[in-house]
Amino acid sequence: MNIQFQGAARTVTGSMHMVTVGGKTILLDCGIYHGHRDEAQKRNSRFPFDPASISAVVLSHAHIDHSGNLPGLVKQGFRGPIFATHATQSLCAVMLKDSAFIQEKDAEFVNKRNQKKGLPLVTPLYTEDDVEQTVPLFQGVDYGRTFSAGEGIDCRLEDAGHILGSASVALTLRENSTVCRLVFTGDLGRPNLPILRDPVFAGASEGTDVLISESTYGGRFHQPVEKMEGQLLEPILRAANRRGKIIIPAFSVGRTQEIVYILHKLSVGGKIDHLPVYVDSPLSVNVTDVFRKHPECFDDETRSILSSPHNSDPFGFERLTYIGNVEESKELNDRPGPFIVIAASGMCEAGRIVHHLANGVGDPRNMILIVGYQAENTLGKKLVMREPVVNVFGEPHELRAEVVVLNSFSAHADRNEILHYVNEFDAKRVRSVFLVHGDPDQAERLSSGLQEAGFARVFIPSRGEIGTLN
Ligand SMILES: [Zn+2]
């Protein structure tokens, strides 16, 4: 039995790992790779294995870099079950459809240009039809319950506390007389994040043999979660005082609901009750509906807000408007500040946020509030680096708006939080730790921390590398 790392190896996107046991192969995650356009196109459209040979997928959570290439897998022949928590199943139904829409629009855009230049036309990675073939393959499972993901493969999902429905995956693999207990953290959340429960330790009582851990912030420390409210309030008031627009790029899943939840608290507390707030993304609206339908994933505080007769809706409040249609979205361009607009995508690469940025980056009264991880080569990263001129839709724009970067909003555990989680495993029992989902510097720093903590064999696999499990 072995594991082959096919994505999120020495990088943070495209999570995909193949576990082979007794001649059967399952996939842990099937994410989209983000990066340079050509490279991404190549990697995402060609799997390094035959999709028809995969017998099942176990999905850690709904983020597109973990789930986004499932329709591609189905398009190329996969027909097995996709195991995920109920909330992940609901989120994916919405998000994969949106992703197909983006893929189709993207191809349309490229083809317009290619046609003019006499270049060959491209086909979208997948379409809504492929998503329709994919959604019925999902099988929702409860947290904490052991189920079979195939012969010799028992599986259990535990709350990873990262986004709604997120899970760490515990596998018990059996081949002849060999047993391997493997834990894949998925993306690990942080204790005390709004809305969600804290991460649950996924190790088996019998002990864990192999651990695959994420390492996104393996070498960095976040601000404490408790600082979120204050960190958000101070810059918002500053921009509001100069009548600026406060533009917040945020992924539609997780971050948007978190921000809305905190703005709700600030508003109820009378601190920003004069400020209109717009959530400008049809996807965010749908996703917020999914949140409302899955209270089983909420922490005690959110449950108590939901059950209180006053302010019982933490995802919508008096000054908040969810914007579905494009016309209303465009109207925001002409609306004078101050107001807050939250839109996707979180790294400013696609979606309505790009229009708000094109319209807003040139005005020094405005503020761009960065609340999420920005990968290399994205527009979001260029804003974080405060490049004097940024390209939006291929056009240069002077960056005159204030850029504020807040780092307490990460939904990923930081170095201390990962070490705290991993230290619950018995370092003497764990045969190998594989660090994935991290840029090399972060993974290396986490690796030294783990070795100091007594984990003797820590590996940072490259893409395509095979790790033995027996
Ligand atoms: Zn994630």
Any idea which of 131-140, 141-150, 229-238, 403-412 has the lowest mean pLDDT?
A: 403-412
Say yes or no to pLDDT of 78 above 80: yes
Give distance in angstroms: CA of 60 to centre of ligand 1: 9
- Condensed to tens digits (0 to 9), the pLDDT of residues 89-135 reads 999 999 999 999 988 988 898 899 889 999 999 899 999 999 999 99
Mean pLDDT of the 29-35 span:
91
Give distance in angstroms: CA of 196 to centre of ligand 1: 14
Per-residue HEC secondary structure of the chain comes to CEEEEEECCCCCCCCEEEEEECCEEEEECCCCCCCCHHHHHHHHHCCCCCHHHCCEEECCCCCHHHHCCHHHHHHCCCCCCEEEEHHHHHHHHHHHHHHHHHHHHHHHHHHHHHHHHCCCCCCCCCCHHHHHHHHHHEEEECCCCCEECCCCEEEEEEECCCCCCCEEEEEEEEECCEEEEEEECCCCCCCCCCCECCCCCCCCCCCCCEEEEECCCCCCCCCCHHHHHHHHHHHHHHHHHCCCEEEEECCCCCHHHHHHHHHHHHHHCCCCCCCCEEEECHHHHHHHHHHHHCHHHECHHHHHHHHCCCCCCCCCCCCEEEECCHHHHHHHHHCCCCEEEEECCCCCCCCCHHHHHHHHCCCCCCEEEECCCCCCCCHHHHHHCCCCEEEECCEEEECCCEEEECCCCCCCCCHHHHHHHHCCCCCCCCCEEEEECCCHHHHHHHHHHHHHCCCCCEECCCCCCEEECC
Give distance in angstroms: CA of 90 to centre of ligand 1: 16
Q: What is the mean pLDDT of the chain?
A: 93
Give distance in angstroms: CA of 178 to centre of ligand 1: 32
Give distance in angstroms: CA of 314 to centre of ligand 1: 22
Give distance in angstroms: CA of 67 to centre of ligand 1: 10
Give distance in angstroms: CA of 397 to centre of ligand 1: 31
Give distance in angstroms: CA of 61 to centre of ligand 1: 7
Say yes or no to pLDDT of 24 above 70: yes
Mean pLDDT of the 412-422 span:
96
Mean pLDDT of the 47-67 span:
97
- Condensed to tens digits (0 to 9), the pLDDT of residues 454-469 reads 999 999 999 999 999 9
Give distance in angstroms: CA of 310 to centre of ligand 1: 32
- Condensed to tens digits (0 to 9), the pLDDT of residues 251-274 reads 888 889 899 999 988 988 889 878
With pLDDT > 70 as the criterion, what percentage of the chain qualifies? Answer: 100
**pLDDT recorded at residue 110:** 82
| Residue 311 banded pLDDT, cuts 50, 70, 90 | low
**pLDDT recorded at residue 158:** 98
Give distance in angstroms: CA of 231 to centre of ligand 1: 23
Give distance in angstroms: CA of 362 to centre of ligand 1: 31
Any idea which of 176-190, 215-229, 253-267, 303-317 has the lowest mean pLDDT?
A: 303-317
| Residue 437 banded pLDDT, cuts 50, 70, 90 | very high
Give distance in angstroms: CA of 331 to centre of ligand 1: 32
**pLDDT recorded at residue 9:** 93
Give distance in angstroms: CA of 163 to centre of ligand 1: 7
Higher pLDDT, 284 or 361: 361
**pLDDT recorded at residue 461:** 97
Mean pLDDT of the 64-75 span:
97
Give distance in angstroms: CA of 412 to centre of ligand 1: 8
Give distance in angstroms: CA of 8 to centre of ligand 1: 12
Give distance in angstroms: CA of 121 to centre of ligand 1: 32
**pLDDT recorded at residue 37:** 75
| Residue 319 banded pLDDT, cuts 50, 70, 90 | confident
Give distance in angstroms: CA of 162 to centre of ligand 1: 7
Give distance in angstroms: CA of 185 to centre of ligand 1: 11
- Condensed to tens digits (0 to 9), the pLDDT of residues 374-409 reads 877 889 999 999 999 999 888 899 999 999 999 788
Give distance in angstroms: CA of 3 to centre of ligand 1: 21
Give distance in angstroms: CA of 166 to centre of ligand 1: 8
With pLDDT > 90 as the criterion, what percentage of the chain qualifies? Answer: 74
| Residue 347 banded pLDDT, cuts 50, 70, 90 | confident
Mean pLDDT of the 432-451 span:
96
Give distance in angstroms: CA of 63 to centre of ligand 1: 5
Say yes or no to pLDDT of 429 above 90: yes
**pLDDT recorded at residue 130:** 98
Say yes or no to pLDDT of 318 above 80: no
Any idea which of 71-80, 220-229, 315-324 has the lowest mean pLDDT?
A: 315-324
Mean pLDDT of the 270-281 span:
89
Give distance in angstroms: CA of 253 to centre of ligand 1: 9
Say yes or no to pLDDT of 308 above 70: yes
**pLDDT recorded at residue 312:** 67
**pLDDT recorded at residue 27:** 98
Give distance in angstroms: CA of 158 to centre of ligand 1: 15
